[in-house]
Structure 1
């Protein structure tokens, strides 16, 4: 009897179970196609419009469905078999991109790109919390941190490879072949996910849909406000930092490289790949540290982000050549990417460890919703600022860096208190 229990326990402690392996394969295929497509589209929009404001506005509009629909995606993830949700959404994504590839032959191509980004955002609103909710369902204990690190590694490797693929495909073949490659990747993802076996979530069949949605919202809000207010504070802090950092990274970085410095798409692709490598290194560091990583030190990561932005601004304040400015941007944003990888992995793992299984999908949807709320506003603001101060971008970067540094220093006490409290989610109490 005991001989049968030992292997079972060891299987539960194994990181790369069959379910987790197929999830990783699916994520790798999905991110490869999705990121390559979005990189090529960003180059296409910038070349067609030449405006940071138009580019930022398009990105911001595309994010709105994810912000508003993610809570509903979390509710769905807690009531329906998560494997079926992922398969359906990736198949829909592949079909949507295929239709958009034919629509690009018509006029109003920028409009087609905008509609495509918004539809992919709708699908992402339902898939992202579902994928994150799957990890603690598949893994347990310290493997949750390691599993999140592996997922982050896959995303980082995709960020490392896809800018090169996107720039090569777009430069040599144009935009439409990138669409076809993305279609193939989405369908392959749906194929891998068919082999995942997860138990269906128990739903109250007596409740009407409207009442069920209302009850789920109230339950998750009560958990965040009363039982785990530290999670809500952590999310709001991340959103505040994202307002400044995401604007400079998503809008400012490509605008600085392509428009201000006047460098090619290959330079931008190489820079994105280097940042992807930095993110991979951050994920490897998380796996190496495991549970030894301390939340109390994460305020230093926020301070580091601010210092990097200040340094980037100083590069444009000093009489340096385009080559040196490009090198400084590359180094500083790579450091930002490494720090962001550490921060996000430990923060998400802490949230998952403190969240009951019945609330996992809903709480993870709040993670995406709150963290992304500030991004559209930040992108629009920074798009206008970079257009306004295109010849004096240090007036944008240095003040932003000072604000982020101040936020990091002010959050030191919060992270110390957060790491000092251990929470048992199974017994709904503090250890």
Structure 2
């Protein structure tokens, strides 16, 4: 681990991501609480989240092209500075009225910026590390994300309850601007010059190259991404929409209870990514299928808790424990899957392929959030009718993918 941490660029990237994620997660937690309290509807809450994700999905492929063709340091600095300014503008305009409109616009702007930043950050890690250090480096980045998700719900709940939404916006803007400052000191190789090509030709050439790589050269990778999209359809609806709705609306608990539960999920995410780092070199693709099946199993007791007479706090305890295990499995799956994909992707295609990873894995989430928002509203008094079938379907998906991961593992071993 020591040589990896001697990498100055990695240290700056991790510190910058920590600041950005603290601001981002605290902001989104406070915005979610505000929207849910004002609307009181899982369906409307899901609609806000889903609409905000559409720009990320549509623009991510272009973000990957920019990550491969442009100066990654300048891209990240510009995007984080713009995010900070957008949040500052929202803080200034929110007191003037039309709060839900301002929040919706802010979520869309952050989604647009995220479409370009996420592929750029993911493309930077392979530029800094290689081999097993690449797996560990991705695990570290995932751990930073998980630690941020651990601390920020509690921080967000305390700040939101104590000072309201506007001061949270000011703090989040400061975090984005600090990140932009740290990224100014990154030292990355300049991009290869593009000669004799217009913007349209570059877009056409790069989109065709990434599509050809996934469709013809690495079809197993494409199937993995489609599988991740299928699973995220169910889990995004359950975790992103269902979890706050179950805690705040169905169980009627406070924002502090929800903040504590989200922090517990953050601990589980840290442990999941840490497990990947500890097992680097011993993990195999077949473990990805097992992780999916395990996540489905962990949802079963959550559904049963709302079927049995356990009381509010008993159901809350089972809900938090079950969702923590689900978060552990999701963190393990995503961290190892990204490292496996990066390890098989040429450096010249890294940004474009990572943008495809980001786009495909996200494409089913808005639909899943809308569907589960409607389902939780419809079965608000009998939420086990949503939770138990979802658990069984995810378990079945995990079992059905066993053969695919065994074949992909065999292909990977043969190529080595």
Q: Shorter-chain TM-score category?
A: over 0.9
Looking at structure 1, the residues matched to 6 and 37 of structure 2 have their Cα atoms a distance apart, in angstroms, of: 43
1:365 pairs with 2:350: no
Question: Aligned-pair distance for 1:16?
Answer: 4.1
Question: Contact 2:4 / 2:137 at 8 angstroms: preserved in 1?
Answer: no
Aligned to 1:197: 187
Looking at structure 2, the residues matched to 192 and 28 of structure 1 have their Cα atoms a distance apart, in angstroms, of: 11
State how 1:218-233 maps to structure 2 within 5 Å: 218-233=208-223
1:341 pairs with 2:350: no
Q: Which moved more, 1:150-159 or 1:202-211?
A: 202-211
Using the size of structure 1 for normalisation, the TM-score is 0.95
State how 1:156-171 maps to structure 2 within 5 Å: 156-171=146-161
Question: Contact 1:152 / 1:345 at 8 angstroms: preserved in 2?
Answer: yes
Question: Aligned-pair distance for 1:304?
Answer: 1.2
Looking at structure 2, the residues matched to 203 and 227 of structure 1 have their Cα atoms a distance apart, in angstroms, of: 26
Question: Contact 2:288 / 2:337 at 8 angstroms: preserved in 1?
Answer: no
Looking at structure 2, the residues matched to 267 and 121 of structure 1 have their Cα atoms a distance apart, in angstroms, of: 28
Question: Aligned-pair distance for 1:430?
Answer: 2.5
Looking at structure 2, the residues matched to 284 and 236 of structure 1 have their Cα atoms a distance apart, in angstroms, of: 25
Question: Contact 2:268 / 2:325 at 8 angstroms: preserved in 1?
Answer: yes
Looking at structure 2, the residues matched to 303 and 199 of structure 1 have their Cα atoms a distance apart, in angstroms, of: 41
Question: Contact 2:77 / 2:181 at 8 angstroms: preserved in 1?
Answer: yes
1:172 pairs with 2:162: yes
Question: Aligned-pair distance for 1:420?
Answer: 2.4
Instruction: Choose from 128, 141, 145 the match for 1:155.
Output: 145
Structure 1: stretches of 5+ with no match in the other structure: 1-9, 424-428
Aligned to 1:247: 237
Question: Aligned-pair distance for 1:421?
Answer: 2.6
Question: Contact 1:160 / 1:275 at 8 angstroms: preserved in 2?
Answer: yes
Aligned to 2:93: 103
1:21 pairs with 2:8: no
Looking at structure 2, the residues matched to 361 and 118 of structure 1 have their Cα atoms a distance apart, in angstroms, of: 22
Aligned to 1:282: 272
Using the size of structure 2 for normalisation, the TM-score is 0.98
State how 1:19-418 maps to structure 2 within 5 Å: 19-418=9-408
Question: Aligned-pair distance for 1:15?
Answer: 4.0
Aligned to 1:3: none
RMSD: 1.3
1:430 pairs with 2:408: no
Question: Aligned-pair distance for 1:296?
Answer: 1.0
Structure 2: stretches of 5+ with no match in the other structure: none
Question: Aligned-pair distance for 1:168?
Answer: 0.5
Secondary structure of the corresponding residue to residue 104 of structure 1: helix
